[in-house]
Chain A
Amino acid sequence: MNYDAVIVGAGHNGLVAACYLARAGQKVCVVEKNDWIGGAAVSRELYPGFTYSNCSYVASLFRPEIMRDLELPKFGLQILPYEGGAVFMENGDYLGMHRDHDANRREFARHSKRDAEAYDRYSRDVLRHCRFIRPMLLRTAPDPSSFRPRDLSELAWLGKQMFGLSEAAMYDMIRFWTMSISDFLDEYFEHPTVKAYQAVASIIGTALGPMSPGTAYVLLHHAMGDVDGNVGAWGFARGGMGSITKALKASLEAAGGEVRAGNGIEKILIKNGRAIGVAMENGDEVHGKRVVSNMDVKRTFLKHVDEGELPGDFVKRVKAFKIRGSSGKLNIALDKAPVFTALPPNSPHMKGDMHFTDSIEKMERAYDDWKAGHYSADPFQDMMIPTMIDPTMTPPGKHFMSCFVQYAPPKVEGQDWTDADRDGFAKACLDQIEKYAPGFKNSILHVEVRTPRELEKEVGLTEGNIFQGELTFDQLLFNRPVPGCAQYRSPIKDLWICGSSTHPGGGVMGAPGRNAASEILRDLRAPTKDMSEAYAVL
């Protein structure tokens, strides 16, 4: 059997690419090393009766165009907006989040009257930046060093977007893209906890602290998604994040595509400079006219391709690709809901994201630990209890808690993580929660602790980096993953990459997969339809 395309890795981007190709009439096969599919968008039962979103845990970035093209709701996907959210403060109070505009203002006003009235302007400014960047997500980044007509016309399009802004807005944007979130927030807000809450999105998954330039962009990366057109809003996938990949798989199979799980690839087969398929760990070979790798760029080229097949400077750049993991995760099955002493009874705040870091300084200090090669002693956690909204994940009355943690380095002081390190890391996180919800630890039924080590081993994310590569300017747009190789192609003919290592980067977005499929289909003269106009008014 010779497929049109063999896709390596059944993560969301691999499946998205496969779906688009299959719908264009290509015969595709997705191969997956794990017995389950989903990559980092996965739901797993790790404790009887409890579904865990054990990697990614919230949805917003997944492109609505893709959801619609691939009919994912028909195949079972439901995204539920969440409400609430809170930052627990050292002084015993909290800063709560509300979907209601006035409730949110009054909550801010409890802490700072000025900040309460500054929030609208802040949101407006961030939204402006989002509006600029969103149309770029489903476009291939042009190569500025190329004189090919398509690159030139895409560059011209980019220029037109820029010049669609006023001069002042352009300056605002360039400033925003290059500055630190801490400096940016200082221009709007005065209260440390208000700033800390806003800064959350600027460090998630990032090997930078909130005082590092470039973090304002990372905030944007997390703000440019939407739930039902509500830009910046986040939600849960009903049934856990695996529902996204389950729906993708169903959509793929409906289009005639195949998924083979439980067997990883040994290497990508290359003959006469062209990729012709993959050799599997069990000795099988799967052949295809092209191979599309959903693995990160390091894993793809440094582990599964003979170095001799690749140009030296390309290998050098791939080796230098920055993919330092910065985060870990605790997935917890709870016998009952925790009681946070700061919150009023029946508080809606538990239906959203909760944090224990009440100032930028604490966040930054947590990052200093990472720089020194330690996990953070006083970590930053993005904690959720999805079962506060989604009843399908646990038995009634029980809860699933997802704690995303920063910072956790890929190696501990240069050495591989040990089980003792992992336990110490978990303890720091659990102790932090216990401090704000006494008795919480007693209600734990099961904890899965994932450091970058586990993320790399199980999901295949090199160094445990959740974005398949850091989101700094040297690795964005035409620089992602490698300058001159940022259009989903690789130096090897018929070997493509479609994972988050490519533009526009990480998060459960699906855009890299869709863009890679578009490029493949463009080469096959079967371009995908452009829906940007219909969504542009947003």
Chain B
Amino acid sequence: MNVMRNSDPRLHYLTPLKQTPFHPRTAAENRLNDWGPWAGYTTALSFGDTAMEHSAIRNGASVYDLCPMVKYRVTGRDAAAYLDRLTVRNASKLSVGGVHYTIWCDDAGKVIDDGTLFRLGQTDYRICCQERHLPWLLDSAIGFEVYIREETEDVAALSLQGPCAWSVLNAAGFDVADLKPFRMRSFPFDGGELMISRTGFTGDLGYELWTTPAHAIALWDHLFAAGAPWGIRPIGTHALDIARIEAGFIITNMDFIPVDQAVREDRARSPFELGLEWMVDFDKGHFTGRRALLKEKVNKSSKWALVGLDIDGNVSVEGSIIYHNGKTEVGTVTAACWSPSAKRNVALAQIRRPYHETGNLFVEVYALRELQYAKLMLPARMCERPFFAPPRRRATPPGPF
């Protein structure tokens, strides 16, 4: 039966959640057997202890299985021009071997998704994102000499994050001492190729490692052998989520709804409404949504703001409603946690303008304590993101810690 499962493509439904190429290792490590679905894959939510896993991100070295991220390859003569038109940033300026965080919008300037763009060659890019967009990417290709290929299953990727990440790579024989943030470099590995980018989703020192599924297990084993002295450990999504909130990073479908998925029209958000105006390059020529965004900028017609909040006390305010003056509903918390690194009670929130400037905000929390809810109205202050930003994240060469 097992043979048939593998050979008959019709039987995919027997495993609606696929296993990533690292599954043999992650399964062995997952003491709690705590799994969750992510984009059609089964992925570890935690391996044993979320607090310890988070601690590895901020103290030693952590490994997170990135395989479910959706990947598209963009090649062809017009690849750069195509991406300039697709995304809001200047993809032509991104040099070969560089990576940048980017977003793309619909005609109305509402965000479809965010992701990282890797320039692998002069006419060769990879988009790595949360959601699936093949029709949009193909439609955007009308008039460009460009080829789009969905390659999610062809890439195996791990995220190695933590102050000792560089030390681990060094011990593993990969010299990335001079690799700056948002740069990448390839190494021969296991008879194949390993691409290491200095990127991550934790706001800490870290790297992402990209290879093909055939080399996945070898990569895992190699890393864990090399990383043992630094307490390398696998982490689940729960621990990563705390780290990314501390770093102030947003996630599609958690902190905003992609416009092409929003059933309710008013859920769509522009870059200005997500605090991403810094990446919109109005000077690079036309891109999808440019005219709408220019109008929004000139008319100051943005309706929302995505902000960081610091909330009194230590009760996590996930999913709470935000009030102005304790009365008027002005927004929603999209992500929140007690930050073990910043020792603050932090949140990301969408707030209706102009309340992002008025202050006097409160968060309504229902804290479940021994089967009873304590209803709290906690004062909240707007604050800068990231909530936690150690200088080591940018140091080149990185220190040993």
Contact = CB atoms under 8 A, between A and B. Distances in A.
Interface of A: 96, 98, 100-103, 105-107, 110, 113-114, 116-118, 120-121, 124, 127-128, 131, 165-166, 168-169, 188, 344, 348
Contacts of A165: 265
B17 A117 contact: no
A128 B108 CA distance: 18
B8 interface: yes
Contacts of A105: 40, 132
A518 to B, nearest CB: 29
A107 B13 contact: yes
Interface of B: 8-13, 16-18, 37, 39-40, 108, 132-135, 138, 150, 260-263, 265
Q: Is the interface of A mostly helix, strand, loop or mixed?
A: helix
Contact of A117 (B9, B13, B132): B132
Given A96-B10, A110-B10, 19 more contacts: A98-B16, A100-B13, A102-B16, A103-B13, A106-B13, A107-B12, A113-B134, A114-B134, A116-B132, A117-B132, A120-B260, A121-B135, A121-B260, A124-B260, A124-B261, A131-B263, A166-B265, A169-B265, A188-B135
Most buried by A among B10, B18, B262: B10
A502 to B, nearest CB: 30
Contacts of B135: 114, 117-118, 121, 188
Nearest to A343: B10
Contacts of B9: 110
A348 B13 contact: yes
30 contacts: A96-B13, A98-B16, A100-B13, A100-B16, A101-B40, A102-B16, A102-B17, A102-B18, A103-B13, A103-B16, A105-B132, A106-B12, A107-B12, A107-B13, A110-B9, A114-B135, A114-B138, A116-B132, A117-B134, A117-B135, A117-B150, A118-B134, A118-B135, A120-B260, A120-B261, A124-B263, A127-B263, A166-B265, A344-B8, A344-B11
B65 to A, nearest CB: 17
Contacts of A96: 10, 13
Most buried by B among A102, A110, A118, A120: A102
Nearest to A100: B16
A131 B260 CA distance: 16
Nearest to A102: B40
B109 to A, nearest CB: 13
9 tightest A-B contacts by CB? A102-B40, A117-B134, A103-B16, A117-B132, A103-B13, A100-B16, A118-B135, A106-B12, A114-B134
A113 B138 CA distance: 11
B68 to A, nearest CB: 10
Contacts of A107: 12-13
Nearest to A169: B265
B39 to A, nearest CB: 8
A168 B268 CA distance: 14
Contacts of B260: 120-121, 124
A107 B14 CA distance: 12
A128 B263 contact: yes
Nearest to A121: B260
A103 B265 contact: no
A116 B150 CA distance: 12
Nearest to B9: A110
A502 B11 CA distance: 46
Given A114-B134, A124-B260, A168 B108 contact: yes
Nearest to B8: A344
A128 B8 CA distance: 37
A124 to B, nearest CB: 6
Contacts of B18: 102
Contacts of B10: 96, 110, 344
B209 to A, nearest CB: 25
Contacts of B108: 168
Nearest to A349: B13
Contacts of A344: 8, 10-11
Contacts of B265: 165-166, 169
Nearest to A115: B135
A229 to B, nearest CB: 14
Contacts of B40: 101-102, 105-106
Contacts of B263: 124, 127-128, 131
A265 to B, nearest CB: 46
B44 to A, nearest CB: 18
Contacts of A121: 135, 260-261
A350 to B, nearest CB: 13
Contact of A120 (B13, B132, B138): B132
A105 B11 CA distance: 13
Nearest to B15: A103
